[in-house]
Chains A and B, each alone.
Chain A
């Protein structure tokens, strides 16, 4: 670009490095993310010396990681993973037909308005939305009261402070993060592709499975990641809706720092939580790649070449 003008002027001047414009953001990231988080990594190798001090790092060991994975904590980690995998899949199951409907069945005139409506609830604060579910699910809340009045239940609803309540809360809180990437990819999908598939004799299910779904895969993957990552680390939803039975790892990590004053253990559990997120993504990515390559090799058609060799 601008080779003549650029080199003529740039010959004498000292040129700024290519990443010059990224330096302010980079500084910010290092100062308020990288260094503080590395500090936590360092703390995770420390220990709690006595009840008055939260941390000591004169002897470093992996003991806190072992302690962080002991049976009582392991239960919380496995519950977290279950809630987040089920929650992410529920978001996909709810969000996909919805995004598909919005992208393919709604006229262009209404699409913008309806898409805008999806985001309106998310202008209410995350915490307030969760509090709303606290009201809805409470034993003396509207759902419980109405069910009792209509004779559907004889006693108040005991959904609050359970895993089910957390499950509902997280699906609600992260659903939009699934809908938007799905909508974007489905919206870009040319209707002519589906029509062509239909003209070539594919059934509706066949078209969906072989045309729509593969073309929407980038959106599906983006949605799964966008929901799974923050959901697994969620701290607010289990704290508001989960009580003792619906605890999640994020809340557990926080309680080690705040209530427990055991920074080393909290830091180790924070690291375990990050590994849990990255590990799960890796496992699912590998499984997904394996399934795709198997499906491809099954579907591949070997064409004889002119010379008679097979490719």
Chain B
């Protein structure tokens, strides 16, 4: 606010502000160009995405009814939900330990987290595939696992790796920024460790946990590399389907399903934003929680 007021004073400032605004608009155009292209091409009635034949809803019709696509999207959602749950639990616990029980062990643990984040995903993907094939057990076709297939277990284990590392760092950052005085006060008032956790620590770290859960979910949905290596036929997620289409023929239904998925994601995000807003955060805080994790 005040900087804008200062900015008004000199014409040179105004020119800078104008240039920055133009730049901002250009960056938004750059960011949204591919999305607009996908939405436009989702209405292409041709058989191949790149050959424009006419406007129509054929892509949507095929996309919604094709059983392979249905299965791929379902696999993606189940994989993302599982990843989110696993990463949120493991990452939150590790984050609490790092922020509240730090010691010599922290260095080693953080080094491992750092290593996970700097190792190219393609290396992890290949390593995991070779590892799964070697250890078999619940990750191989031989053993029948309850509830989920071994393909899904492979996806969960792989996706949750990066997601847990990220959630750990977010929760740690959140708790490190808060003094332990509330917990201490509760302890002085004879609150049991469990009550201290549920009534003090958990509410304090909730924004970070929510942001972490959301990030883990989107990370899993977004992941193509690990999925395309470790997934198995019948349990391959949506990006793997698209990947094989890129190598063969790109059809318009890929754009149509992507458009629908974007709308669904936006809807989910708006719901989360509304919940956060109703809990008393400003629009800016909400945007920050969702985008940069508090």
Contact = CB atoms under 8 A, between A and B. Distances in A.
B263 to A, nearest CB: 10
29 contacts: A1-B184, A22-B98, A22-B109, A25-B168, A32-B128, A33-B112, A36-B124, A39-B127, A39-B131, A101-B20, A106-B24, A108-B282, A108-B284, A112-B285, A113-B283, A115-B284, A116-B287, A118-B28, A124-B34, A124-B35, A124-B261, A125-B258, A128-B38, A132-B33, A132-B34, A136-B33, A142-B37, A230-B120, A270-B120
Contacts of B271: none
Given A28-B90, A135-B50, A229-B117, A274 B266 contact: no
Contacts, number: 288
A32 B254 contact: no
Given A115-B291, A132-B38, A235-B122, A33 B161 contact: yes
B290 A175 contact: no
A223 to B, nearest CB: 12
Given A32-B128, A278-B118, A125 B187 contact: no
A236 interface: yes
Interface in A151-173: 172
A104 B3 contact: yes
- Interface residues of B, dominant DSSP: helix
A20 B291 CA distance: 30
A266 B3 CA distance: 54
Contacts of B180: 1
Nearest to A179: B27
Contact of B93 (A21, A31, A114, A126): A21
A112 B269 CA distance: 14
A127 B266 CA distance: 18
A180 B289 CA distance: 12
Contacts of B55: none
A102 interface: yes
Chain B contact patch, size range? 35 or more
- Interface residues of A, dominant DSSP: helix
A186 to B, nearest CB: 11
Interface of A: 1-2, 5-6, 18-22, 24-26, 28-37, 39-40, 43, 94-95, 97-98, 100-102, 104-109, 111-129, 131-136, 138, 140-142, 172, 175-176, 180-181, 183-184, 191-192, 194-195, 198, 204, 229-230, 232-233, 235-236, 240, 250-251, 253-254, 257, 263, 266, 270, 273-274, 277-278
